[in-house]
Amino acid sequence: MFLIRELISGAYVAAPPVVMVEGARPTITPVTVEGEGLSPERLLEAYRLMVLARATDERCLSLQRQGRIGFYAPLMGQEAAQVGASWALRPEDWVFPAYRELAVALARGVSLRAIFDQLIGNAEDRIKGRQMPNHFGFRDVNFVVASSPIGTQITQAVGAAMAAQRRKHEIVTISFFGDGATSSNDFHAGLNLAGVYQCPTIFFCQNNQWAISLPRERQTRSATLAEKANAYGIPGIRIDGNDLRRVHAAVQEARARAVSGGGPTMIEAEVYRFGPHSTSDDPKRYRSDAELSAAKQRDPIDRLKMELRAAGRWTEDEDRALWEEVRAVVARTFEAAEKAPPLDPRSVFDDVFARLTPRLEEERAEYDALVRDGVLKS
């Protein structure tokens, strides 16, 4: 029986290692990209990773309702799009996420514990509690911190790609965003700039049919979202985002095109958001149970499971054991993160400048005095 611990700990690495030398180009372990598909073994690994993402999603929704985390934006229904896209990238590539890319982070090798630490904002949180829950970032895997404003990651990805282009670094940047972001200023500015300068950027739109409560058909008269790229001289393709193989192949092709100097690509992956936009949203107010039920007939996890079963590589007994194992480990990992000490309030004075300014020194001294006098609790 497969042990999920490599995925939970972040020890599992889906792509070749990269050695970074300060001030130099990345040194990449050679690997064949063109034509590289997903073997039966890799499909099974992808299924396990998708199950981990779904089980984590379920747990986080429950935790927010219990008041144990403050906010969460689920990705249920978008697992194949995120895992397929991530596995077509290299470690040296840069990911610019929105706020729903949990499976992307896991696929890049981020540990579940690191994600839970950020959701809680405890002393182990790498961002030191300075971002909303679900807005994590991990420098060691080139996963940029997410932000709440819609579409800002699009122009950021283009800027980073331009920098890499000028430094002759053979990497790509990829920006993940939803259908609603295609109506944002940053979408148009980002695609225009990338088209003009032929930046090595992949624009990956997860069209989950709803921009919070606004349906896809009320956002634009465009027949597809992908065709919007044509106005900027960028090829745009529309794919089934529930098809892991198709997503992987599309991103792989876009990456090869970008690093060879062919410029950016926009990919519209058709998916469906099963859950709420976030834990602040009630989707029952704007969509019917019948619509959701119909969408769940195309569940990417069920789809891949059926493919594995048809190939004789998976059984229902194995599936039940996997779900039981994953859910137990997810619960234990969160409980361990919850027991970590809270963040030291004094950290608010850190990282503002490389060295504390005289004014910050005074403010920290004032804070210490208030704690000493019992006015504040440390």
Q: Kindly list the catalytic residues.
A: 273, 277, 286
Question: Which of 43, 57, 190, 41 has the alpha carbon at shortest distance from 112?
Answer: 57
Q: Which runs of E-coded beta strand occur in 208-344? A: 210-211, 214-215, 236-240, 265-270
Q: Please list the residues that pair with 269 across neighbouring strands.
A: 206, 239
| Gap between the Cα atoms of 19 and 30, Å rounded | 12
Tokens representing 371 are: 């704690």
Residues 6+ apart with CB under 8 A from 104: 82, 83, 85, 86, 95, 97, 143, 176
Burial label, 236 (beta-carbon count in 10 A; 0-12, 13-18, 19+): buried
Q: Which runs of E-coded beta strand occur in the chain? A: 18-19, 27-28, 94-96, 173-178, 201-207, 210-211, 214-215, 236-240, 265-270
Residue 178 contacts residue 206 (beta carbons within 8 Å): yes
Residue 140 contacts residue 108 (beta carbons within 8 Å): no
Burial label, 317 (beta-carbon count in 10 A; 0-12, 13-18, 19+): exposed
Which secondary structure element, helix H or strand E, spans residue 289, and what is its range? helix 289-296
Question: Which of 102, 118, 116 has the alpha carbon at shortest distance from 49?
Answer: 102
| Gap between the Cα atoms of 378 and 367, Å rounded | 9
